[in-house]
């Protein structure tokens, strides 16, 4: 016999941790055309949405979220960002452990994709293909660096994530291996969770972990 659940039960998530992060609002021309959104209304993307996409919460995922948020805020200071009008350039290759994961999350928010992305509706309305490019420039240093460009104006910003300045979480981070092999105590798990999510919250809250620079058009 099939067990039925209510819509609330199906769609709810029992989060073990809470985050305080401003959502990202972004328009989607295809969604508007197909009456998913009213004209001019945005999708609201939360950090929790990004966690669902990544399957975990960590300084890499939270860093990708903030890179995207800060980049879009700088590109669109007086209006909402628009999917299909944002080119994303990663400063490293797709098979890099950091750039690969981060780029997928940046793509999730912005819609920017490679040649396998959404090609748009009739006439290319809302086209997002070939808007995500890897190894597109040489970063100044080893920190993850992304560039966001508006295809309508050419305005470009660069966001650098200073990962080496993220708090290390202290000795409790070392409990992870015991959690993975099943030997951790309840106290170990609690201490690890506090330390781990403390790092994530620091990334979400501390703008000093990021540098945002406007670049000349065409860079």
DSSP state string for 1-29? -PPP--HHHHH----SS----PPEEEB-H
The fold for domain 21-165+210-215 equals 60s Ribosomal Protein L30; Chain: A; (3.30.1330)
Residue 123: predicted pLDDT: 79
CA distance 22 to 44: 10
Rounded to 5 degrees, what are φ and ψ at 45? Answer: -105, 125
Residue 80: predicted pLDDT: 98
Residue 14: predicted pLDDT: 74
Averaged pLDDT, groups of 10, the chain, 219 residues long: 40 74 96 94 97 95 98 97 97 96 97 88 87 95 97 97 96 95 95 96 97 80
Q: Which residues pair with 82 in a beta bridge?
A: 27
Residue 33: predicted pLDDT: 92
Residue 28: predicted pLDDT: 94
Residue 41 DSSP symbol: P
215 Cβ partners below 8 Å, 6+ apart?
Answer: 147, 156, 157, 158
């Amino acid at each position: 016999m099939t067990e039925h659940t209510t819509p609330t039960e199906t769609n709810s998530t029992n989060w073990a941790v809470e985050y305080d992060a401003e959502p990202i609002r972004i328009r989607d021309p295809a969604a508007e055309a197909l009456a998913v959104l009213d004209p001019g209304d945005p999708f609201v993307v939360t950090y929790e949405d990004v966690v669902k996409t990544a399957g975990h919460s960590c300084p890499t995922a939270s860093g990708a979220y903030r890179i995207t948020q800060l980049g879009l805020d700088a590109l669109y200071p007086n209006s909402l960002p628009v999917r299909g009008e944002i080119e994303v350039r990663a400063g490293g290759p797709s098979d890099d452990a950091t750039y690969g994961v981060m780029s997928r999350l940046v793509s999730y928010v912005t819609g920017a994709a490679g040649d396998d992305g959404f090609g748009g509706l009739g006439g290319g309305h809302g086209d997002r293909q070939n808007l995500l490019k890897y190894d597109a420039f040489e970063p100044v240093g080893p920190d993850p660096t992304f560039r966001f460009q508006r295809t309508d104006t050419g305005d470009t910003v660069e966001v650098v994530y200073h990962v080496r300045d993220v708090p290390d979480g202290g000795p409790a981070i070392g409990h992870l291996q015991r959690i993975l092999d099943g030997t951790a105590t309840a106290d170990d798990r609690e201490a690890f969770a506090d330390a781990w999510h403390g790092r994530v919250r620091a990334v979400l809250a501390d703008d000093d972990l990021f540098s945002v620079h406007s670049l000349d058009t065409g860079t």
